[in-house]
A and B are shown apart, each in its own frame.
Chain A
Amino acid sequence: MMTLKVNGQENHIDADPDTPLLYVLRDDLKLNAAKFGCGLGQCGSCTVIVDGKAVLSCVTPLVLLEGKQVTTLEGLGTVSAPAPIQRAFMEEQAAQCGYCIAGMMMRAQALLLRNPKPTDAQIRAELQPNLCRCGTHMRILRAVHRAARLMDTADASANERSGQ
C-alpha cells in the first residue's frame, strides 16, 4: 500500500511496486486519458506530467512516484471548464481518432509550463517522442501554438485582475 498524489488528490494504492503508473491510473484510479500504446516507451500515448515534467507512464513503476505530484489530462480541466490546452485542441479540431491526443497534450503542457512562448521548432522537437497515426500533426502543432497564446492571454488577464 502506498500513497500516490494524482491531480491534487491523495490515493492509497494497493498494487505491486513494479506496476507501471499507467496501469495504476487506468485500473485503480479509473482514469481514461493516459492510454496504453506500446508499453515500451516508444509512442508517448501514455504521457502524463510528474512534478512538472512529461513522463512515459507505461515504463514508470509505481515505486518511483512516492511523494511526487502526478497530473493527468483529467486534472487540467473539463468539457465545461477546459484548460487552455484543451480549448486549443477543441478549437483547432486537432484529432482524428484521438487516441494519441491525450499524450500529445500532456507533453505540450509540460513544454508550455517551462517555456510559455516556444518556437515552432521547439514544439516539434518536444513532441518527437509522441506518435500519431492518423496524420493529425499539422493540427496538433497549430493547437499547441494556440494554447500558448491562450495561456498568455489568461495570464495577462489574471495579472490585470490582481493589479499587476
Chain B
Amino acid sequence: MNAPVILDRRRVLQGGGALIVSFSLSRAFAQEGAPAAAKRPGSLATASYLDAWLRIDADGRITAFTGKAELGQGFKTAFQQIAAEQLDVAFQAIHVVTADTQLTANEGYTSGSHSMQDSGTAILNAAAQVRELLIAEAARRLGLAVEGLKTDSGAVVAPDGRRITYGELVAADMLHVQAQPQSKLKDPATFKVMGHPVPRVDIPAKVTGGEAYVQDMRLPDMVHARVVRPPSYGAQLVECDSSAVEKLPGVVKVVRDGNFLAVVADKEFQAVKAMNALAAAAKWKESPSLPRQDDLLNVITSLPSQDSTNRSDPSVSGQKTVEATYTRSYQSHGSIGPSCAVAHFVGDAMTVWTHTQGVYPDRQAIAEMLRMPPASVRLIHVEGSGCYGHNGADDVAADAALIARALPGRPVRVQWMREQEHAWEPFGPAMVTKLRASLDADGRIADWNFAVWSNTHSMRPGNAGTLLAAQHMAQGFAVPPPKPLPLPEGGGDRNAIPLYNFANAHVVHHFIPAMPLRISAMRALGAYHNVFSIESFMDELAGLAGADAVEFRLRHLEDARGRDVIEKAAQEFGWTRDQKPQAGRGYGFAFARYKNLAAYCAIASEVEVNRETGRARLLRAVAAVDSGQVVNPDGLTNQIEGAIMQSMSWTLYESVSFDDTRITSIDWQTYPILRFDAVPDRIDVHIINRPGQPFLGSGETGQGPAAASIANAIAHATGKRLRNLPLTRKRIKDAIDA
C-alpha cells in the first residue's frame, strides 16, 4: 500500500537514491512522441515526481499537494476540480494540502498570477499521468490491454464490468516516478468538474465562524505577544525601563533584542495593554529621512537609476507629437486583518504557522535570522486576511519566531495592530512614466517612447535582511541590495512594452535602487501604473486622431485573443462610436494582457463626476477576460470583480502619506479606501473560455485596465485629463476649475 509518507524533499529534488520508474508511462504516452529532453509542464519542471503532487491511500483517499498558498483567490477549490477531473473521481474525493515546507513542493512565492499556470498545470498533468499509471497497473493485473479500460469514480473498469479501485491498485512507491513531459489529458468536451462553477471549499467555515484563519488558531498553552515597533524607519531605542510593564497583570515576558521590542502575556488584551505601556516606556532617537511627499515626480526622477532600453526602429516618426507624464503615489496593501502568525519552539525545532506567500523563502529568511539550519524550521501556510502582495505576513512570522525562541515550549501568537500594518508594511512603490508619441497622416501611431522610473517591486524574503525583526535585532541583518525583476515578466517595467504594433517603440526602464520608503510587491507590480499610463495615453492619441477609443486600439493590435476581449467588452457594454452619455457622465475603455503573457482583460466603464465636488463614482463596468482554459468560472469572475473594485479604490482614493520622518497614514481615517457609498450599480464579467489551452494567470490582470478605464471615463466626463494617481476628488475638482 501507499502509506502516508513525509517526502524527503532533498532526496526527491536531487533524484539521489530514488528509483526512477518510467517505462509504463513511456509506453502509455508513446503515441505522443514527446522528446525525452522536453521540459515538464508547470511546476513539474522543478518538482518532477508524481507523488510530490498526488497521494492515493489504500483506503482510496486522495490528496493533492500544492506549494502555493490560498490567499482568498479560491484556487484550492480549482486545484481540487483539476485533480478530480483528470483522475475521474468526484470533486469531494480529493483533499488539497497547501504550502507546507514539510509536505509540499517548493513552488517559491504565490505571486504574479502564477498559481494556475505553475501549480494548476502540475496537478493537471500529474493527475492525468497517475490515472494512466493506474490503468496500466489494472491492465497488468487483469491481463487486458490498456486500450479497453476506463476509469470511473475512483476505479478502473474493464469492458466485462470488473472494477479495481484506485486504493487497491496503488502500491508502495508506485507514484514515486518522474513525470513525463507529455500527458494524456482528458478531452475538455467530456469535463464534468473542470469548467463548472463549483462552490468554494473554504466559504462554509468563513460564513459560520469556523476556524478559518491563522488569526483563529488556539494551541494548548498558547500565549499572546505584541510588538512595539520603532516610531519611524531607522529609529534607535535609546532607553526602555520595562520593569513596570513586567509587573502588569498577565505579562509573561518582555523580549528585547536591539531595536526589537515585544511583550508576551497570557491573554490577548493583556498583551495589548502591556504593549501600550511598553511603548510609553520606550525612548527612541529618530532622524528625518523621508522625501517630500508633495514632490514625488522630482524625487523619483532625480534619484540615481540604472537604465535598460528596449528599442525598435528609431528612424520612423510621425507628424503630430504629444507628450505626457503620469505619476503614482506609494500605496498600501491595506489588508483588513493585520498580519498574524503563531510560532512554537520545541527542542531545537521551530514551527511557524503563517499567511506568508512563500513558505520556503520565508523559512530560509527566518532560519538565517535565528541562525538555525533551515531543516530545523518548518513553515505551514494557514490563511490570513487577503494580502494582495507582500504585506506584513513575513514580518510577523519572523516576529513570532523570534519571540517564541525566547519562550521555548510555548506557542506564541502575534498579531500586528492596525497602525503597525499601515506604517510598516512594504508599500507598492511610487512610479513615474513619461510618454511621447506621434501620429502619421493616417492617424496611426508612428513612433512611441515610454520611460518608467521605479524601485524594484520585490523585496520579498529569502534573505533575513528583508525581515523587520532581523533588521531590528542587536546583531541585525542589512537590507539586501534590491534587484530589478527581469523581463519578460518584469517589475517596474512590467507591461511597459506595449502589446500594440507600433512602427517604432522605444521603452526605457530607469531602475532606482534607493528606497526612501519600505516597498515591495503589490498586486500587478508595475503593470498597474504602466497600463494606466499606456491606456490613458492611447485615449489621448485617439482624441488627437479623431478616432473612437475602441477602434483606435483595434487599429494597432494584431493579437487575435486581445482583439476578442476588446470586441467582447465593447459589445457587451453597448459601446458605439457616437455614444452620448448623460450630462456629467463619461465612458472609458482600456485593455491589457497582463505581463504580455498572462490573461487578457478589457474593461469598459461609465463614470459619473460631480462637477461641484469633484467626486467621481464608477457606475458600471463591463469586463471581458480570456485566461485560457477556465477551471472555475465563478472563481474567475470573482477575481475580476474584485480586481475592478480594488483598482477603483487605489485609483480614486489611495496614497500613503508621510512627513520628513514618519509614515502618517496609519489607519482607515488617514488612508481612506472604498466604502459602500461608492460601490457601482453593476459589474459584469464576460469570460472567453479557451478549452484545452494553457491556464493564464488572472488574479492581477484587471488592475491596470480598471484604472485606465476609469481615468478615461473621467476625462470623457470632464474634458480634463488627470495623470496623477490617485485621481482624488480634489484633483478632479482642481482640474475642472483650472
Contact = CB atoms under 8 A, between A and B. Distances in A.
A98 B202 contact: yes
Contacts of A135: 641-646, 648-649, 674
B504 to A, nearest CB: 38
Nearest to A74: B209
Interface string A128-142: 101111111111010
B388 A133 contact: yes
Nearest to A41: B668
Interface string B323-347: 0000000000011111000000000
A26 B337 contact: no
A30 B338 CA distance: 19
Contacts of B489: none
Contact of B269 (A20, A136, A137): A20
A74 B208 contact: yes
A21 to B, nearest CB: 10
B386 interface: yes
A19 B269 contact: yes
Interface in A106-163: 124-125, 127-128, 130-139, 141
Given A37-B337, A137-B676, A138-B683, A96 B207 contact: no
B354 interface: no
Contact of B209 (A27, A33, A133): A33
A135 B618 CA distance: 13
Nearest to B682: A138
A82 B208 contact: yes
Contacts of A139: 638, 641
A100 interface: yes
A35 B215 contact: yes
Chain A interface residue bracket vs B: 35 or more
Interface in A73-96: 73-74, 77-79, 82, 86, 89-90, 93, 95-96
Contact of A32 (B204, B209, B385): B209
B383 interface: yes
Nearest to A44: B336
A139 to B, nearest CB: 7
A52 interface: no
B611 interface: no
B673 A131 contact: yes
B477 interface: no
A90 B203 contact: yes
Nearest to A91: B199
Contact of A97 (B205, B211, B386): B386
A73 B200 contact: no
Given A32-B216, A40-B667, A96-B638, A130 B676 contact: yes
A38 interface: yes
A100 B667 contact: no
A36 B642 contact: no
B435 interface: no
A114 to B, nearest CB: 18
Nearest to B647: A135
B210 A32 contact: yes
Contacts of A33: 208-209
B74 interface: yes
Contacts of A16: 249, 269
B268 interface: yes
A38 B72 contact: no
Interface centre among B386, B388, B649 (most CB of A within 10 A): B386
Interface residues of B, number: 63
Nearest to B72: A97
Contacts, number: 179
B679 interface: yes
Given A36-B415, A134-B386, A98 B646 contact: no
Nearest to A123: B676
Given A73-B208, A124-B679, A27 B336 contact: no
Contacts of B388: 133
A41 B202 CA distance: 27
A98 B209 CA distance: 11
B669 interface: yes
Nearest to B224: A27
A105 B679 CA distance: 17
A152 B504 CA distance: 63
A100 B208 contact: no
Interface centre among A39, A45, A74 (most CB of B within 10 A): A39
A97 B383 contact: yes
A35 to B, nearest CB: 6
A98 B417 CA distance: 19
A101 B210 CA distance: 12
A42 interface: yes
A138 B645 contact: yes
A34 to B, nearest CB: 8
Contacts of A134: 72, 386, 642, 645-646
A102 interface: yes
Interface centre among A15, A33, A37, A99 (most CB of B within 10 A): A99
Contact of B668 (A28, A30, A43): A43
Given A131-B668, A138-B682, A79 B641 contact: no
A97 B209 contact: no
A35 B206 CA distance: 11
A103 B202 CA distance: 17
B207 A98 contact: yes
A98 B212 contact: yes
A72 B642 CA distance: 27
A15 to B, nearest CB: 7
Interface centre among A15, A86, A135 (most CB of B within 10 A): A135
Contacts of B639: 96
A42 B667 contact: yes
A125 B417 CA distance: 28
Nearest to A42: B668
B676 A102 contact: no
Given A32-B216, A98-B202, A77 B208 contact: yes
Interface of B: 71-74, 199-200, 202-213, 215-216, 218, 224, 249, 267-269, 272, 334-338, 383-386, 388, 415, 417-418, 634, 638-639, 641-646, 648-649, 667-669, 673-677, 679-680, 682-683
- A-B pairs, 4 with minimum CB distance: A135-B645, A97-B72, A97-B386, A33-B209
17 contacts: A27-B267, A30-B218, A36-B337, A39-B272, A42-B667, A45-B336, A86-B208, A90-B199, A90-B203, A96-B72, A99-B335, A102-B206, A131-B675, A134-B646, A135-B641, A137-B679, A138-B682
Given A36-B338, A95-B72, A105-B207, 10 more contacts: A31-B209, A37-B418, A39-B417, A40-B418, A42-B667, A77-B208, A79-B205, A90-B199, A93-B200, A127-B676
